[in-house]
Amino acid sequence: MKKTGKSAVILFGVFFVLAICNFRAFAQPSVTVNASVSETTVYTGERISLSVEVSGDFNNVSRPTLPRLQGFRLLSNNPSTSRNYSFVNGRSSSSYTYSYYLIAQNKGSYVIPSVSVEIDGKEYTTDPITVRIVDRNTSATNPSAQSRPGIFLMMEVSDKTPVTGQQLIADVVLYFKEGLEVSSYQPIPGWKAEGFWKEELENSHRPRAETVILDGVRYRKARLIQLALFPTKTGELTISPYEIVVSVRSAATRDDPFSSFFGGFGSNQRQAELKTDPLNVEVRPLPDLPDGRYTGAVGSFNISREVNTREALVGETIEIKTTVKGTGNIPLIGKPAYDLPDGLEVYAPQEASSLNRHNEQISGSKTFTDIIIPRSPGTFVIPEEKMAYFNPDQNRYVVETLPPVTFTVERDPNAIASSGQTISFSVQPITGLAAWVSPHSAEPWAYWWFWAGLVLPFIVLGIGYWQKTYQEKMHTDTGFARSRKAAQIAEERLNSAVQLSEQDHVKEAYNVLQKALTGFIGDRLGLPEAGLANQEYIAALDNKGVDPNLTKNVRMLLDKCSTISYAPDASQGYLKSHVELARSILDKLKKVL
Amino acid sequence: MTHSFIHFPTCGRVLAVLFIAVLAVAQQSRAQSSPQLSFDRANELFQNGEYREALAAYRSLERQNQVSGALFLNMGISYVQLDSLGKAKYYFLKASGFDEARPEAYKALEYVESRFSRQSAVLPKLPWERAVDWLRVNIGVTSLMGISLLLLNLGVAGFVATWFFSHRFNPVFRKAGIGVAGAGIVLLLLSFYVQYVDQRYSEAVMVHSKGNVLERPSPEAPIVNQAYEGYMFTVDHYQSEPHPDWSYVRMSNGLYGWIQDDNIRIL
């Protein structure tokens, strides 16, 4: 077959036509349908407009089908329409706007359901809209409405009970009554949020005012500044007042409360310095970390780790880059610590972060670069790591697993000379049996002997001093010595009496028994050792206040001892019974004397 | 009957398997708990030139609080083979605290010191500090306290004895007792001081090739001095406590400053 190239031209033409068709298909812009209302908070009886805007590239559009509306009355089924047509960069687009007017009838919060529109045979629906209807008569009597100024500033935060590190969106919102017009504003520099790390968010739109009704009074509100705040500690934190200067122009009407304040001769524009009230936030602590390493990240993140090379020479730099990307407290995230294998020289890590302040939140990425230099050849494995961050939306830690990083290091052929130095190292490892110990660092005062050794000298000193004093008194104080020895001497005398009786010297035994009793009483009461009659011992006992019955027994026994010398039938058994009686009496006397 | 005949061998087999499993688990747990066995395996890795793997095994023993002079010496030698001389010095210093490895550890330390590219100037310590160091290292706080308490008790006992025994040398014994008890009290106070020093200060070795000693515990603080691998520091734990990840150190040349914890290993 002769090659002419004709078939190729035909093929190219077919492809070109198909490509054009496909391009048109892909280039066709999408159609959007939006519904909006003129006010989201209205008084009963007021009129609002509901607009349905169809924009994009389309041919046929049907009139919107309104759903059943609760709380509102539709003024007319026939909407007013407006149409815009534009042709930009070779592309045409048009927009249709259908406007309906609704009368607010009953107070409450109502949802205007989705509105459906058929465009080029396809049905589109809008998002539902919530509108609050306020009763003008009852709300106007609210006393707090009178105390609220005509223009004021408020700080509104997204969450009043965040956890540490959670991103809070704080809006500085200006409220002003109708009749006032804010031409410009300027924040006063130097605002500090103690306990927070703060970042100002960027908004592409100029502040837009919308209507709200506060305690029955209609206000316009506009968000002037949006901040991202990250609490750095737990507990109750106070967001300090934020101050701005606003330029306000008021309508010079007699009823306007601001006309007197702002009013002037010819010009009614003034500047006012406004500040928000201090706002308390209760910061909760983070829960305990179940698993993995935590580096302070709070938000929603993707964490990844990579190494810049898998093969290197000894002494070459290797970089391990860890990237944390997402939404949250990116600047507060700390460097993750890895278990690096031995043989690596670790240098100071580098940190870099990029922040995106759009879309009403702080997002972006933070990169940590660990710089390491291998000192020996081999295959190095940085083990798998579990990195955790706290996700406030899910109220839990999310653990991301970083896979292990492996790289191989070869010996540098130009550095052979340096490796030769290790050969001169002559110390050999110990490979036999080793003496194993489990070191423990107990303090000396953890041992019993420490306390025993510390207390014992005081005990020895105390007892020794007491014994020394006792012995000295025994030697120097006769009365004390007699008193201390009285019981022992009495006992010896009683034993002696028993022995004498056993040797048939009963009468002598009674004499000894009498001595035992009188000697004990005399020694204990400090009476003379001899020359006293029994009656004097009895009198001494009475004076001491001894129990009369006991004194009576003593007297009886002493009388018996005195008279037994004259008794013809003094037997051994009789004496023994008296000795036992004497022992019993002495035991009782020991307790009272 | 038939029932039992059918199941008896099955039960026997199950019991046998269970018995073997229990034995195996017991053997395994015994093997895991034996430091000598783990040490021998680590030594095999070392002999095969697998120094990093050997170090991982040695470190596992260290983490289990099973240590010996041989273990520290071998860890030091492994680090020498990996050219990580700061860590090698650290482990040789630890090994020098054990009789079994002391001579080899000193020899290895001499070698490692000769390999460091930079040596720190050394400002000698005051005699008092040297004396306290000597007491701490060579006698130990516990022994010192034991000796002091023994002296205190002997002195008090001797003094008290003179109250009860008459002897012509009583005045001499009394003074000797007071002297010995006094010496015990002085030694006890000294041992408390040595204990305080031991608790507050530790020696540390620089294990990275280079690091900064700073005026304040902050990376942006002015630099006091640069420290290189193998430099020795005295860490003040009391000062360091409020600053996690930082240590307040005295360098060998007498300068004081702050260094990040990951630069040093505390002995």
- Of A183, A268, A191, A257, which is closest to residue A224 (Cα–Cα)? A183
Tokens 């159609």 label which residue?
A: A31
C-beta separation of A437 from B68 below 8 A: yes
Distance from CA of B146 to the nearest CA of A (A): 7
Q: H/E/C letters for each residue in A317-342?
A: CEEEEEEEEEEECHHHCCCCCCCCCC
Q: Please report how the helices A534-544 and A506-525 are oriented relative to each other, as an axis angle in degrees rounded to 10.
A: 40
A279 within domain boundaries: yes
**How confident is the model at residue A149, as a pLDDT?**
83
User: Taking CB atoms and an 8 Å limit, are B149 and A454 in contact across chains?
Assistant: yes
Q: What is the pLDDT of residues A453-488, one digit of tens each?
A: 999 999 999 999 999 999 888 888 888 888 888 888
* Distance (Å, whole) CA A299 – CA A8: 57
What are φ and ψ of residue A334, in 5° steps?
A: -90, 170
Return the number of other C-beta atoms located less than 10 Å from residue A537's C-beta: 23
Between residues B141 and B30, the one the model is more confident about: B141
Decide if A344 is inside a domain.
yes
CB contact under 8 A, B87 and A342: yes
A121 and A233 housed in the same domain: no
Measured between alpha carbons, how far is residue A378 from residues A388, A406, A501, A516 in Å? 31, 11, 108, 103
Using an 8 Å Cβ cutoff, are B204 and B251 in contact? no
Domains of chain B, residue spans = 34-115, 127-200, 202-266
Q: Do A229 and A123 share a structural domain?
A: no
Q: Tell me if B34-115 shares its fold with B202-266.
A: no
3 state DSSP class of A45 = coil
Q: Is B254 left (phi over 0), alpha (psi -120 to 50) or beta?
A: left
Same structural domain, A86 and A124:
yes
**Residue A318 belongs to a domain:** yes
Query: Is B163 within 8 Å of A378 when comparing Cβ atoms?
Result: no
Residue A394 has φ and ψ, to the nearest 5°, of -90, -5
Q: A455: nearest CA in chain B? A: B153
A146 and A257 fall within a common domain: yes
Q: What is the mean pLDDT of residues A416-439?
A: 72
Pairing outcome for strands A41-43 and A129-134: parallel
* Inter-chain residue contact B71 with A434, CB threshold 8 Å: yes
State what percent of residues in chain A have pLDDT above 90. 15
**Burial of A327: CB neighbours in 10 Å, binned 0-12, 13-18, 19+:** middle
Size of interface A-B (CB pairs under 8 A): 134
At a CB cut-off of 8 Å and minimum separation 6, what does B62 contact?
A: B71, B75
Report CB contact under 8 Å: A430, B104: yes
- CATH of residue A173's domain is 2.60.40
Of B61, B163, B261, B263, which to mutate for an interface test with A (greatest number of A Cβ within 10 Å)? Answer: B163
Total count of residues recorded for chain A: 593
**pLDDT number for residue B94:** 93
- Beta strands B232-236; B246-251: pairing state: antiparallel
Examine the pLDDT at B30 and tell me if it is beyond 50.
no
How many CB atoms are located within 10 Å of the residue A361 CB? 17
Q: Would the pLDDT of A256 be above 50?
A: no
Do both A303 and A204 map to the same domain? Answer: no
Can you give the pLDDT at residue B12?
61
Per-residue model confidence (pLDDT) at position B83 = 83
Q: Of residues A342 and A158, which shows the higher confidence score? A: A158
A456 in any annotated domain? no
Task: Identify whether residues A88 and A178 lie together within a single domain.
Answer: no
Nearest by CB to B84, from A343, A380, A439: name it. A343
- pLDDT of B10 above 90: no
DSSP letters of A459-488? Answer: HHHHHHHHHHHHHHHHHH-HHHHHHHHHHH
Q: Where among A413, A430, A462 does a domain terminate?
A: A413
What is the C-alpha to C-alpha distance for residues A547 and A561, in angstroms, rounded to an integer?
Answer: 21
CA-based nearest residue in chain B for residue A425: B111
- Mean pLDDT within A562-579: 73
Residues A138/A213, Cβ–Cβ less than 8 Å? no
Domain count, chain A: 4
Average pLDDT over residues A7-11: 47
Of B69, B160, B208, the CB nearest to A346: B208
A274 and A354 co-located in one domain? no
Residues in chain B within 8 Å Cβ distance of A383: none
What per-residue confidence (pLDDT) applies to A141? 59
- Each residue of B181-237: pLDDT tens digit? 999 999 999 999 999 988 899 999 999 888 899 999 988 889 998 899 999 999 999
The last residue of one of the domains, among A135, A160, A175, is A135
* Domain B34-115 bears CATH identifier 1.25.40.10: yes
**Poorest-confidence range of A195-209, A529-543, B26-40, B130-144?**
B26-40
Let me know whether A129 and A209 are in one domain.
no
Q: What is the mean pLDDT of residues A253-259?
A: 45
The residue written with tokens 């103690």 in the block is A194
Which range of residues forms the domain containing residue A579? 476-592
pLDDT given for residue A326 in this prediction: 92
Residue A573, in any domain of the structure: yes
For the ranges A128-137, A382-391, B47-56, the lowest mean pLDDT is seen at: A128-137
C-alpha to C-alpha distance for A482 and A473, rounded to whole angstroms: 11
CATH topology of domain B202-266: SH3 type barrels. (2.30.30)
pLDDT at residue A173 greater than cutoff 70: yes
Instruction: Provide, as residue numbers in chain B, all residues whose Cβ is less than 8 Å from the Cβ of A429.
Output: 43, 46, 70, 73-74, 77
Whether A124 and A190 map to the same domain: the answer is no
Model confidence band, residue A179 (pLDDT cutoffs 50, 70, 90): confident
Q: Which pLDDT value is given to residue A142?
A: 60
**In chain B, which residues have their Cβ closer than 8 Å to the Cβ of A465?**
160, 163
Mean pLDDT for chain B?
85
Chain A residues with CB under 8 Å of B104 CB are 427-428, 430
Q: How many CB atoms lie within 10 A of CB A23?
A: 10
Q: Which residues contact A590 (CB under 8 A, 6 or more apart)?
A: A487
Verify whether the Cβ–Cβ distance A342 to B157 is below 8 Å.
no
The residues, any chain, with a CB within 8 Å of residue B76's CB and separated by 6 or more, are B87, B88, B89, B90, B91, B92, B94, B95, B105, B108, B112
Q: Is residue A16 part of a domain?
A: no
Domain match, A151 and A268 both? yes
Do A169 and A130 fall within a single domain? no
Q: Inform me whether the pLDDT recorded for A168 exceeds 70.
A: yes
The pLDDT value given to residue B205: 94
CB-CB neighbors (< 8 A) of A467 in chain B: 163-164
Is residue A153 within 8 Å of A242, Cβ to Cβ? yes
Contacts of residue A342 in chain B, CB cutoff 8 Å? Answer: 51-52, 55-56, 78-79, 82, 84, 87
The A-side interface with B (CB below 8 A) comprises: 341-343, 345-347, 375-376, 378, 380, 421-422, 424-439, 443-444, 447, 449-450, 453-454, 456-457, 460-461, 464-465, 467-468, 471
Instruction: Tell if the CB–CB gap between B84 and A342 is shorter than 8 Å.
Output: yes
What does the pLDDT read at residue A86? 75
pLDDT of residue B17 exceeding 70: no
Identify the closest residue of chain B to A348 by CA–CA distance.
B211
- Per-residue confidence (pLDDT) for residue B22, from 0 to 100: 57
**Among A388, A413, A438, which residue terminates a domain?**
A413
Confidence of residue A262 (pLDDT cuts 50, 70, 90): very low
Three-state SS at B48: coil
Q: What is the mean pLDDT of residues A238-257?
A: 75
What are the pLDDT digits (tens) for A367-409? 998 888 887 788 888 888 888 899 998 988 998 889 888 888 8
Nearest by CB to residue A468, choosing from B65, B141, B163, is: B163
For an interface test with B, the pick among A375, A428, A430 (most B C-beta atoms closer than 10 Å) comes out as: A430
Chain B CA closest to residue A429: B74
Quick one: A263 and A310 in the same domain?
Answer: no
